[in-house]
Amino acid sequence: MAVPVEVSPWKSAPFALAGETVFAIGDIHGCAEELASLLDTIRALTVEGAPPRRLVYLGDLVDRGPDTLGVLRLWAEDAKARGVDRVDRIIGNHEILMLLAMGDGPRAEKAAALWLAERTGGSKVLAEMRAAVRDPTAEPSYELATAALGRQILDRLLTQRSHLRLGNIVFVHGGLDGRTDQAAFLAPPWTAGMKARWAWITTGFLDWQGGFGGTLVVHGHTPPQKHFPLTYMEDPHLFLHDRLGLDGGSAITGIVVGAEIRDGRYRILKAGTAK
């Protein structure tokens, strides 16, 4: 049975994309069935939007949910397979931890401890990879990821963007710090771990109401239950204070959230049945 997708009415917002249509998808966290239905809906909606049409993933594909490998296979598909003209892939803090844990750099040990902790949910992904290669004792590594998923998907994971500027919008996983120069804030690479604050920020972004110098921010990272104490927004998926959040809390709520964004308006796409 297909996962249902709810498409909201259009809402006004001052997005300026020079005629481009953008479909942005928030945190997925291993919810492959919900992502598949959302992508099918996006394909159907692309016929209504004149090209160029772009698909933007906002990160946090992995951990917590039941099928991270399935999510990654869908996420890695090219633009033609998804019925759009371009796909941009932005890295989330969960991918940062996973990739650092699988590497052999100075942050690997600490990242592995965080990634495999119950709160983060990386142990579920490791179990999926071990099952895929039929080795219940395989350690986290790029070799394991390659064997479980193929080199192309690993390469796409390793070459994700920190952010995307398009028109007057910045697409980024966590957000911006309204008190800090944007270029400096967005400069650290994902290999900097937690120092790449654009992937981790909540306080200083969601409770900031001073704008971002004319930049509008489309982001994921903060699910509804963590969003409300900072914003007091009953609906975390409304454009307000120059922000549009698309984290539906997928692995907890059962909902993967996306948006269709055009000049001057947007609508929210919700895939799944609330738990």
* Structural domains present in the chain: 5-92+160-271 (3.60.21.10)
pLDDT value at residue 143? 98
Q: Where residue 93 falls among pLDDT bands split at 50, 70, 90?
A: very high
Write down the pLDDT at residue 132.
Answer: 98
For 44-80, how does the pLDDT look when each residue is reduced to its tens digit (9 = 90+)?
A: 998 766 679 999 999 999 999 999 999 999 999 999 9
Percent of all residues in the chain with a pLDDT value above 90, rounded to a whole number = 96
User: Average of pLDDT values for 187-209?
Assistant: 97
The tens digit of pLDDT for each residue in 124-150 reads: 999 999 999 999 999 999 999 999 999
pLDDT for residue 46: 86
State yes or no: pLDDT of 1 exceeds 70.
no
Residue 91 near residue 190 (C-beta atoms within 8 A) = yes
Q: How high is the pLDDT of residue 179?
A: 95
- The predicted structure's pLDDT at residue 275: 83
Identify the pLDDT of residue 232: 95
> Rounded mean pLDDT of the chain?
96
Q: Which of 42-46, 202-206, 253-257 has the lowest mean pLDDT?
A: 42-46
Closest CA to 195 of 182, 203, 186: 186
pLDDT value at position 48?
A: 66
pTM of this structure: 0.97
